[in-house]
Structure 1
Amino acid sequence: TLVVPSSKDYKLKLSDGTEIWLNSTSSIRFPSTFSAGKREVYLTGEAYFQVAKDKNHEFIVHTDHAEITVHGTSFNVNAYPESAFTTALVEGSISAKKGSNKLLLKAGREVMIGANNKFNVHDFDAQEVLGWMKGTYFFHNKSIEQIAPVISRWFDVKVNWDNAHIAGQTFTGEIDRTLPLSVVIANLQLSSGIKAELKNGVLTFK
């Protein structure tokens, strides 16, 4: 099992030639070489896959939320425990499976598992979904509560807020992982008027 620590990301290449980019605090389990049957990996967190084409051997990504099957394609999977499961297809085709529900996804579309384990399919903004690979998190009308896990993973801090009203405050903008956390905090404060304090590894929005 490969585990990526906070504030880091990692790229690896599997024995079949498949390339995988892993986001912070993600982990993936895979064999050193694939057997004669299926190609299977187990993911927690977020990763972007460029799967080597092999018509005779399916490539399967297992997560706690759903299972994704593909022959050769490029797609992003967000399967962090605290987030809603999403997978966005850049090119090719994949199928997503959750219990008895199964869906074939087309390029340019993203599927999210919503209430009652139902699939919700929609178009996606590639910059917003894939920006993390270049160290930038783009967000549109996202709340503090939704942004907090990204800040926590990328800057290795705990994020709190004083009350539910603060947690629901929304932002549109971007977070650059190459900048110091103090600059990121200052930018968020300027764009929203919300106050924030960093003390002993804990960032509190007030």
Structure 2
Amino acid sequence: MMNINSIIIKSIIDSLNAEEQRLLDEWLKTESNKRMYNNIRSHFYDSGSYLFNTSDEDVDKAWAKIGKRADSERKPGKWVSMIRHTWRVAAAVVAFIIIGGGMMWYEDYTRTTPPVLSEDITGAIRESVKADKADILLATDKTADIPSRHVIKPQPISKEQIVEYQLDAEEVERILESKMIETQRAKESWVQLDDGTMVHLGNNSRIIYPERFPKASLFGASSPREVIVEGEAYFMVAHDASRQFIVHTRMGDIIDYGTEFYVSTKSNSTRVALVSGKIGVKSATTQERILQPGQEASIAAGGSLSVAQSDIDRYVAWNTGKYAFHEATVRKLISIVSMWYGREVQYDESLAERTVSGVLYKYADIRQTLESLSLALGVEGKCFNVRNTKK
């Protein structure tokens, strides 16, 4: 049976059940108990203490700190004084715990955790810069080790450059202070944003981003981290629960929930492939759709949005610059090569389901890559034909 200490405390905060109320009423039939109860209740409200845990264990511990129960009839002054002091101390302790716990929660909630770059990623950065296929911009001073010709110099933007995207007035004002990085046909870029997010920008692409994202707010909603993308990009987003990360495109928005994903706005549509984590995708005419890893969303020019399963290997390979495979079909390998180089590769359909194992390297010449594939297949002659750039 619950002890009377717990019943008294629970009655003060009006949390008694029917059985507990019956036990309290029975106990209060004694005049001395009634006077003790009234004194406790009176001094409790005087102290202004209303927050505490009412579980039996915690209540018993709290009462134990008071010491042995005194006889309220023989030592009423001492008992009342102890009750008043105990509740005030308890209030201070509870306030400290609440504030301290709140600060710990807030620190954790607003903590920004940059993505951990794998050796494949760091290797791709080194190889692409070494092959003169990419430039780089890091938020730290690590660019000191990179030749100056490969260090990106962001450009200012104008309002005219962002009015075509689906932005409201507040978003426009925030983004107007941003910078722009734009790649050329033969070059990619690796861009590290203020929060540690790493963006791999494809050729013929651009990203508009702020040099400093808005800080988290203790009061009210924090402003989101927002960028604009045109072309294609692979995002490795820094986790920050307090600030959304939003990618704006002409066709719609991608809302990140801590993840890796690929975005392409080429071919008059927006395609988004989720590699890991979770993202939301929406257009001007649709509600947000949540994607799971291995899914790809497509937003058409009219705003319609569709979601389907996708082979994400080609997106990971595009980002890392290397594709190791075992018994992969020619059809799949050609789709990866076409995506890497932005070229349409024609081939004999009789080869489509032939399989081969090995490693492809993105920064090799496309003709060398296709010649290696021909040798692996054991075919002679010109079985692959590279057409003009399609992107």
| Length-normalised TM-score, structure 2 | 0.40
Q: How far did residue 53 of structure 1 move?
A: 1.7
Shift of 1:132: 1.0
- C-alpha separation between the residues in 1 aligned to 2:314 and 2:338? 16
Distance 2:330 2:296 in 1: 16
* Other-structure match for 2:282: 97
Determine the structure 2 residue equivalent to 1:151.
341
Q: CA 1:116/1:43 → structure 2, altered by over 3 Å: closer, same or farther? A: closer
Classify 1:196/1:107 alpha carbon distance in 2 versus 1 (closer, same or farther; 3 Å): closer
Q: Which has the higher strand share?
A: 1
Residue 83 of structure 1, CA deviation: 5.4
Percentage identity across paired residues of the two chains: 28
Structural mapping, 1:170-185, within 5 Å: 176-184=361-369
Higher RCO (Cα < 8 Å, 6 or more apart): 1
1:114-157 Cα distance to aligned partner (Å, 9 max, x none): 47532221222221222111225899758x9x97675357xxxx
Query: Is 1:63 paired with 2:249?
Result: yes
Q: How many residues align?
A: 188
| Structure with greater proportional helix content | 2
1:110 positional shift? 1.4
Larger Rg: 2
Paired with 2:185 and 2:198, the residues of 1 have a C-alpha distance of 21
1:132 alignment partner in structure 2: 318
Deviation at 1:87, TM superposition (A): 0.8
Q: Which residue of 2 aligns with 1:43?
A: 229
Q: 1:182 to 1:140 in 2, by over 3 A?
A: closer
- When residues 195 and 11 of structure 1 are mapped into structure 2, their CA distance, relative to the original with a 3 A threshold, is closer
Unaligned runs of 5+ in 1: 154-158
Q: Which runs of 5+ in 2 are unaligned?
A: 1-179, 216-222
Match of 1:85 in 2: 270
SS of alignment partner, residue 117 of structure 1? coil
SS at match of 2:250: coil
Counterpart of 1:31 (choices 172, 197, 210) is 210
* In 1, Cα distance between equivalents of 2:268 and 2:314: 16
Question: Contact 2:261/2:276 (CA < 8 Å) preserved in 1?
Answer: yes
Letter in 1 for 2:341: I
Query: Are residues 3 and 48 of structure 1, via their aligned partners in 2, closer, same or farther at CA, if it must alter by over 3 Å?
Result: same
Q: TM-score, normalised by structure 1?
A: 0.70
In 1, distance between residues paired with 2:241 and 2:213? 15
Letter in 2 for 1:63: T
